[in-house]
Amino acid sequence: MIKSKNIKKTLSVSFTALLAFSLISPVYGDSSTATSAGASTISAKVSAKLNQQFSASEYVTYLVKLKDQVDTESVAKHAFQKASAEQISPAAAKLSVRTTVVNSLMDTAEKTQQSVEEYLKKEVNNGNVKKYKSYFIVNAFAVTSTKEVMDNLATLPEIDKILPDEKRELQKVEIDKDAQPVVEEPTADQAVADQAAVDTAVTEVNAQKSVEESVYKDAVTPSRVEWNITKVKAPQVWAKGIDGKGVVVANLDTGVEYTHPALKRKWRGLNASGQVVNPELSWYDAVNGASLPTDSDGHGTHTMGTIVGSDSNGTNEVGVAPGAQWIAVRVFNPDTTDSILLDGGQWLLAPVDKNGKKHPELAPDVVNNSWGGGPGLDEWYRPVTKAWRAAQIFPEFSAGNTTWSNPGGAGSVANPANLPEAYATGATDVNNKLASFSLRGPSPYGEVKPEISAPGVNIRSSVPGGVYEGGWNGTSMAGPHTAGLAALLLQAKPSLTVDQLEDVISKTATPLTDSQYRTSPNNGYGYGLIDALAAVNSVLN
């Protein structure tokens, strides 16, 4: 059994729970005694697909969603208003809002889950429930039980829906190991403009005496910087002394090889001496329970490299925000389920220490999601994305890649990237053309999707084994550029909210069009190619 959190038991709560349990306890008898009204209730709440799964197995894992759910957007709004009235600093305001959101979610779960959990504990002892786990990021349970238990749960008035624990696949990337390094030939005008921008930035930094000029002159030489990093103008931002320092990014992925030379010294679980300290607060393996960051697939190490990667001697500048710190959650190995993704998403909101205490103050500022499901309306992960936003965690999602079951075209953008609360990134090539595999909008809500584009063809980054590999193709490779840009912006102006980050990134992008998408924004490129220099300048000015 997976034990859920301890519930505080006051006298009044205990009496209420006891009364509720006594009223519903007759339901927990033989399911054959269920009335026609009860059968109708079960049918209305339980997914037909889930019922079919029980025909093949005695025990099935499923999700039980309660009716009482927190409006995290409203909670955050009131918390911001209170912080504003108290005139506290922007950093303190963000932390106050995040803590308020987490506490609200936890309190709601604590008050509404008790009778359900009492029943599940009883059925564990009876052998009808193999395991269960409660969640607060969505007021829900993941339960592995017999069909009789599921049917009994469905009759409870506090239960809203019972859904299958769907299997989710990692976005498949294509790796062309024979791909040649990209050598982009800029026009004469562009070369002059780019060099002028670099020179101006270095001059500004030198005048401010904030960094050593020589460091950044080296950093922006083409031989040291990957083409895609240059393409989004990150080196010019580094030349201003802005590289993501002080910002924490995360990914939900296959894990990260923390010993990789491009990533090791940036993991938050290491102190200044390189010793591992409280790793459980900077890494969570929701799949296998590994105590230290690891990655047997490579996908997560590659995406994290594009966000923060750089080695100590400066010969491999593969990341957009090399000064940022990272934490990570492994949720794929290589596939996963909804319950694992909920578990990982919840940990990000409030990392948990060895004693089980939750730490919302240690949540990341940005989370990269290079994964997704099919197209269309599917809101199973929407409460998680809403909670992240309310807690001021920037939720970047890759738009998704074409597959045999989703060949692309209008409205093909993957879920959860197609949610209104997700900020989706499409993939472009070295010529700023939309990649053939990049999924397109509009969203099921009629919104432009993806919101933005970034390089996603022939991307070189860190991979397990302490090495680097190019030729990776996918929107999984594009999304981390956007996550890295969010980190740069948060160093430049820490008070930026998630809404403001989206607004800045979109409005400063370079508009992109083609024969199919003749105006901008559009459902192929969104608002265009991210421009780190323009974005950072807009908030500095």
Strands (E) in 278-422, as ranges, are 283-285, 325-330, 335-337, 366-369, 394-398
Q: How far apart are CA 77 and CA 101, in angstroms?
A: 10
Whether residue 242 contacts residue 321, with contact meaning beta carbons closer than 8 Å, is answered with no
- The strand pair at 467-473 and 459-463 is best described as antiparallel
Whether residue 435 contacts residue 428, with contact meaning beta carbons closer than 8 Å, is answered with yes
pLDDT of amino acid 217: 34
Whether residue 442 contacts residue 376, with contact meaning beta carbons closer than 8 Å, is answered with no
SS3 call for 357? coil
Residue 335 in tokens: 């596939």
Residue 453 in tokens: 């584009």
Q: What are the backbone dihedrals phi and psi of residue 63, each rounded to the nearest 5 degrees, phi first?
A: -110, 135
Task: Point out the residues that are catalytic.
Answer: 253, 299, 476
SS3 call for 158? coil
Torsion of CA 196, 199, 201, 204, to 10 degrees: -130
pLDDT of amino acid 256: 98
Residues sharing a CB contact under 8 Å with residue 386, sequence separation 6 or more, in sequence order: 72, 73, 421
pLDDT of amino acid 520: 98
pLDDT of amino acid 181: 67
Whether residue 69 contacts residue 383, with contact meaning beta carbons closer than 8 Å, is answered with yes
pTM: 0.87
pLDDT of amino acid 2: 43
Whether residue 367 contacts residue 348, with contact meaning beta carbons closer than 8 Å, is answered with yes
Q: What are the backbone dihedrals phi and psi of residue 463, each rounded to the nearest 5 degrees, phi first?
A: -140, 160
Residue 436 in tokens: 């053939």
- Cβ contacts of 122-127, under 8 Å, gap ≥ 24: 122/28, 123/149, 124/1
Quick one: 368 exposed, middle or buried, by C-beta within 10 A (0-12, 13-18, 19+)?
buried
Q: Which amino acid is at 83?
A: A
Could you tell me the CA-to-CA distances from 52 to 47, 93, 115 in Å, in that order? 9, 48, 27
Any bridge partners for residue 397, and if so which? 369, 424
pLDDT of amino acid 196: 55
Any bridge partners for residue 434, and if so which? 428
Mean pLDDT by 10 residues, the chain (541 residues): 40 34 35 56 91 95 98 97 94 96 98 97 98 98 98 96 92 84 54 52 41 33 81 98 98 98 98 96 97 96 98 93 98 94 98 97 98 93 98 98 96 98 98 98 98 98 97 98 98 97 98 98 98 98 86
Residues sharing a CB contact under 8 Å with residue 424, sequence separation 6 or more, in sequence order: 397, 398, 399, 413, 417, 418, 449, 450, 451, 452, 526
Q: Which amino acid is at 371?
A: W
Whether residue 481 contacts residue 230, with contact meaning beta carbons closer than 8 Å, is answered with no
